[in-house]
Structure 1
């Protein structure tokens, strides 16, 4: 577990350690580490890092380490050997499962960058059976193209259960202004050398194993979704902010939908607090995403001809300023304690030992899945029967209920041998149509906001794009009836 460490945070950590006590004296080590890969990045593309670290005050002076990306945000696999010198011993790599050795020779593996770190190490025993190493790292990632400073706090579980790590992280967050991070020094180094930026990971479908209990299924799904959320944090902070915000907002919606799907079996008080934090985070990300859609998708659709383009130019300039502010607010939220606290608390709550579910927890998921999906489908049916296409609020409620059903199906569809595809296709078609209508409504609202106050000069442009947006929305509304009818006739595959 890794946190960004400001000078003030370091001082507070030192005070925390003075109060908490620790196991043995503090150790200070100078760590000079070289990272290796092939020119085509064969190792990093396969999810592995290879490094050789020089320990100046150690009898075994050079240590070779291989790390894999592991399963999730906080899990890593690691292999380590003493070696004779600063070059890696490729003969030891055969011991690493799935390591990409095919066609790799010593000439292929070259130094790429190095880290120069002063590390202060303290061993903590926060709970019975738990041993955690707390490391304060200060230094730099250094490459031929430049360098980046490193100031981090790292917690590594040496003995005990992962829950102890989460609890210690949460305890630190009570008094220390820390920001949870996912990027490793290796990732930062390769980005520095290659001039790359963090990018969204490829979406993978969720497939649950058969025979899981409700509790096990919820734990697996929640861990996967929290990992997805954290994986997109560096994309928002340092990569393509627009795509990062988009993907992270989806991650938030998926987590909220998971809480709704399992709602009858969850402890309501805790679930409510997590829902509140997800709603808050969704609002911050949603504000940034709304301006992205305004500028990149909807505004171009509502501009017709050169005259309209001239009118819309001032709208675009002011909207770009609003977008920048909204993205800065999103980045700030991801670096603040509430976000870090949510991630750790959610992982702790859904851990194997966590008291997540009520007395229904041991029941097989397969037995409960039909009722879980039917509950969401009934809500959609209710919204569908009450739907008034002339009322945006009515359409918005239907869209939200449909989205929860769609995500619920995606979580559980592996239990149904491919029968979900046709039903999901109808869900997606209706969802897309409703989404287009909602985007046009949001566009008009934001355009009107731009003309408020002292910007009456924008009123003609707002009037022009609002009229065009209304015309486009009418076309979508005219086509909506067919989508509603086709979905209403779809037979739930789980019944």
Structure 2
């Protein structure tokens, strides 16, 4: 078995032609290959469910059988286990797979394997000595085909043959220049399965990061940051092409989790990393927040008011004005994703996360307990005074509870004890009610900047009444939290 470490980037056919003439590649002979690949699975797609790819590849006159794991990529970088051997097309032999349990899984399904999709592309390859490493750079151009449907394929793969992961990113920085190279989150196999299944574009929700107790805080942060980055990238296409407001919501949640993770782990991260990346995502995060605020106002706050006063012309005008504002806010997000700095940021941040060094040597569990205690103290100081808090103080209380919940979610996502689970549920209920309170505050702010705000008395009264009701629910939800202690 080998471990494949590769960075995958998308680009236009024009950029691919230009990149092939880059000075870094000028004195390196290029190899040219025509690669035809057929991917196989069972009728129930059992390999796909296990995130495994099995393919036959025709490479010149040679046939190869390849088995790959399919861990998700972040910032375009993927690390996969790979087994490859010469083979006769259509004859499956998994004896080269040195993982006994995995090999048994595959062998038990040999008779069920059938073709699912093909990839057909021409590849140019350069073996580039760079820094302390040897890196294979490949430009692939062709298509993915399944059930008579095709997707164009144009991408770069940089695979580490020997040396350090850092050098892949340094080489990419040199290649990027004026080219719009965008980290690719989906492998060829994933896109092939999506084509086979005719998978519609849908919002992607956060998955628990693969954090475990044996990791250091910095290793845990790396898992969490890359998890957040994948969460964001999986919603990127929806931000650009879909009107579904859930894409904005999920993208905003992804960046909010990412920025929270940087703040949470700041005590154990290098100060220069925190200085550079602590504020880097703020512009995009603020734009997503603005778009989300308008979506919430239109999708959640306004509908019950429209239902209660269906013939109110001022409310109808308000809705049309809010729709225009929401469209403008969405365009602002799209514009930020279109600037050249955005793909550079993805690459730079991914590189920084992969290469961030260890600082404070402390067990993850100890670090998590310290953070939980710190945020619990902040939340408690404000919660005790909940009845007299100003809107800004109540907002600070919401943030304190959010950080408390994120600490639990990040550090103990897959190993919450029964006591921690009850605590997490209580925090989630608190977040829900505090989120509603914040939405009503935001709704009033929206009204204040919306044309004709002097005619919105009915809407303002409705929002304020719901705001008061939500605040009145706080004591009952806070009561069980005051009794709970997990640190």
Per the alignment, do residues 143 and 368 of structure 1 end up closer, same or farther by CA in structure 2, a change over 3 Å counting? Answer: closer
Is residue 47 of structure 2 the alignment partner of residue 43 of structure 1?
yes
Is 1:475 aligned with 2:478?
A: no
8 A contact 1:70–1:76 mirrored in 2 = yes
Q: CA deviation at 1:274?
A: 0.9
The equivalent residue for 2:4 is none
Q: Deviations over 1:4-49 (max 9, x none)?
A: 212453355245x31x247740122222323333343232222122
Whole-angstrom distance in 2 between the partners of 1:185 and 1:13: 21
Supply the distance in 2 between the matched residues of 1:308 and 1:443 (Cα, whole angstroms): 21
Shift of residue 423, structure 1, vs aligned partner: 2.9
Question: Which residue is equivalent to 1:423?
Answer: 423
Q: TM-score, normalised by structure 2?
A: 0.84
Aligned match of 1:372? 371
Q: How far, CA to CA, are the matches of 1:334 and 1:173 in structure 2?
A: 17
Select which of 91, 94, 104 maps to 2:93. 91
Structure 1 contact 134–156 (Cα < 8 Å) conserved: yes
Q: Give the match's secondary structure for 1:158.
A: strand
The equivalent residue for 1:183 is 186
Q: Distance in 2 between matches of 1:98 and 1:320?
A: 52
Per the alignment, in what secondary structure is the counterpart of residue 25 of structure 1? coil
1:348 equivalent among 343, 346, 351: 351
Measured in 1, the distance between the counterparts of 2:336 and 2:45 equals 33
1:199–1:440 distance in 2 versus 1, CA, 3 Å: same
Q: 1:65 aligns to what?
A: 66
Mapped pair 1:362 → 2:367: no
Aligned 8 A contact 1:198 1:238 in 2: no
Structure 2 residue aligned with 1:54? 58
- Measure, in 2, the Cα distance between the counterparts of 1:386 and 1:267: 36
Q: Distance between the aligned counterparts of 2:335 and 2:68, measured in 1? A: 30
SS at match of 1:125: strand
Gaps of 5+ in 1: none
Bigger mean CA offset, 470-479 vs 381-390: 381-390
Equivalent position SS for 1:401 = helix
- Count of aligned pairs between the two proteins: 474
State the match for 2:3 in structure 1.
none
- Does structure 1 retain, via aligned residues, the 8 Å contact 2:206–2:254? no
2:8/2:184 contact within 8 Å kept: yes
Alignment of 1:89-488 (within 5 A): 89-92=91-94, 95=97, 98=102, 100-101=105-106, 104-106=109-111, 108-128=112-132, 130-199=133-202, 203-206=206-209, 208-234=211-237, 236=239, 241-305=244-308, 307=310, 312-334=315-337, 336-351=339-354, 354-355=356-357, 357=359, 361-384=360-383, 391-413=390-412, 417-449=417-449, 451-452=450-451, 456=452, 460=455, 462-484=456-478, 486-487=480-481
Give the CA deviation at 1:252.
1.6
The alpha-carbon distance between structure 1 residues 197 and 138, as it changes in their structure 2 partners (threshold 3 A), is same
Counterpart CA distance in 2 for 1:131 and 1:23 is 15
Superposed CA RMSD in Å reads 3.3
Check 1:116–1:257 CA distance in 2 against 1; reply closer, same or farther (3 A cut). Answer: same
In the TM superposition, residue 237 of structure 1 has moved relative to its aligned partner by 5.0
SS in 2 for 1:363: coil
SS of aligned partner of 2:34: strand
Per-residue CA deviations over 1:111-135 (Å, capped at 9, x if unaligned) read: 333223122211212121x121111
- Provide the rounded CA distance (Å) in 2 between the counterparts of 1:190 and 1:220: 26
- Structure 2 residue ranges without an equivalent (≥5): 1-6
